[in-house]
Every structure is written in structure tokens, then in C-alpha cells.
Amino acid sequence: MERKRPRLWLLTCLVLFGFCPGSLDAVNPSENEIGHPQQRQQDHPNPKLPASEMPLEVDILKLIKVSHKDPGVSVVEGPIGKYPAYKFRLPYGNVPMINASTVIEAINKSNGFTVVFLFRQQKNNLGTLISINSPGRLTPWFQLTSNSKTGILSLKYRLRNSTKLNQKDWELPRHHRKSPMAAWTWMALTMDFQEDLIRLDLDCSPSKFESVLSRKGAPPKLAISNDALVYFRQEPGRKKKFLGSMQVAKILPYVTHERLWNCYEISSNLAPEYRKPITDN
């Protein structure tokens, strides 16, 4: 399927990076696998885009000013060299997000938006990556939850003009029959209201598409109330805390049509030498 690429995105690729992910540039096969040893040894010619500042990005890890000084947080090595990654354990939680309104503004775009995470999750953890709720309400306006016990990624969202809570579930990759999300995984979810598409990209697996609309005629835009609050890696009441490590947590207030990381080959069936090494949590 050929889609229009936003001018902004093309411009960014060309001007800032001199290439576009998914273009025909020859890419080292080790690109396929984040955390590949070769990648750490050398300075990578193609920096992973979300490690750089992307146009208009909202960087959640910056907004919460996460630091190794926070109880329960340690700095760990992530797939992107020379770029901090954080491991979250209990008792970390309930950290106020300064300027959370920038998150709401980013996902309140009528064309759509993109949410990007690079993370690795503990075993048996029902972890909310991001949740947008009105005060005192458990039912979210928008929420993304990763469950490493069941291996399911769940998206919940509400559309304007409808009271229905929509839910989409996807299976998360399992590595070497270990717990899902035991290895670092790139994830990008794009809600494209103009094309009526939700696109989910996980590492170098083929993109998965869903329709946004729950029924015909509903205006394709997210419903978010003006009193909404942003919860990062937990739900209201400090429930469903995400435990594990994160290197990227960003929201882009526009639709992306390309994967934001490099893949030598889009495949659900990689040769063993290109599979991810497993790191114990």
C-alpha cells in the first residue's frame, strides 16, 4: 500500500539525517537487532532516530525528569549507545509530570499522532505504559498497556461523540520462548485519523493495521476531556505499574508513515544469528 508521506517527515529525513528509514540504503544486518554486540562497539553511522530529537517531539522521560537519584530508578545500558536508559523498580512511582499538557496537546491532534517506546519488561508484569484519565476515573481516554504475563499489548481509546471504550489487542513477540518483552523492543503506535488506520510496529515485524472507527459515521478523533491527567507507566491509584527498563518514551504530534528505526528486512522469521540476545532482568 502506497501512502502519502507528510512533507515534514520527508524534510526531516533529508535535511537532518540524510536518509530515511526503510529506504534502499544498504544497512548492516545487525541493524535488524537492537542490542546486537556489534552495534555497541562502534559508533553507528545511522543513529536511531528516536534517540535524536525529532521534530515537535514530546519526550516523556524528560518531562518527568527521571534520574538515578529517584528511589527505584537505576541507569542501565540500552540498545542505543551513549544514550541513557532507565530501569524502574518498586518503589518508583507517582512522579508528577511537569507540563503534562504538552502530552495531551500532542495526542489531541485531528490528523493523528505517534507513540514510540523502546523498552524491556519484567516477567509477569501488567504494565501501563501511558494512560490518560480524568481525575478519579479508572476508565481511560487513551491507554496503552503491556502485559508480559499474557503477552498482550492493549490499546484503549475513546472517540469523540461516542461513549464506547474501544479496545485493540495485539500479541507481543516472545524471544526464545522466554517471557514476552524479555528483550529490548521497539514499539511505535500510530493513530492516523485521516486514513482511519491504527498502525503498530514492533521491531522488524511486519506492520499491523487496524481500523480506528468503531462504527460508521463517528468522527475520527480522540475524545479527551479538558480535565484529563497523564499517567506514565501506571494507572490512577498507582495501579498496574510498569516494571522494567525504558530508553525511549516519546509522543509525536503527527502521523509517521515509516518505521522510526532501521530494519534490514521486515520479517517475522529472522535467521537465528539476527535474533536478539536475551538479557536477564
- Per DSSP, helices labelled H in the chain are 7-11, 37-41, 60-63, 101-107
Q: In the beta sheet, which residues pair with residue 252? A: 114
Q: Kindly state the smallest distance separating residue 217's Cβ from ligand NAG, in Å.
A: 6
249 and 61 Cβ atoms separated by less than 8 Å: yes
| 34 touches 184 (CB < 8 A) | yes
List, edge to edge, every strand of the sheet that includes 142-147.
165-171, 152-158, 142-147, 126-133, 229-232
Neighbour tally for 81: CB within 10 Å: 15
Can you tell me which residue has the cell 537492537?
34
Q: Tell me which residue has cell 529490548.
A: 184
Site string for ligand NAG, 210-239 (x = CB under 6 A): -------xx-----x-x-x-----------
Nearer to ligand NAG, 108 or 148 (CB): 108
Measured from the CB of residue 39, what is the shortest distance to ligand NAG in angstroms? 33
Residue 46 vs 225, nearer CB to ligand NAG: 225
- How many amino acids of this chain bind ligand NAG (CB under 6 A)? 12
Which range binds ligand NAG by CB under 6 A, 47-55, 71-79, 98-106, 194-202? 98-106
Least Å from the CB of residue 135 to ligand NAG: 13
222 CB burial (10 A radius; 0-12, 13-18, 19+):
buried
* Binding-site member from 108, 179, 185, 234 for ligand NAG (CB under 6 A): 108
Q: Is 161 in the site for ligand NAG (CB under 6 A)?
A: yes
| Smallest separation, CB 196 to ligand NAG (Å) | 16
Task: Give residue 152's identity as a one-letter amino acid code.
Answer: I
**104 makes contact with ligand NAG (CB under 6 A):** yes
Q: Which residues bind ligand NAG (CB under 6 A)?
A: 98-99, 102, 104, 108, 110, 161, 217-218, 224, 226, 228
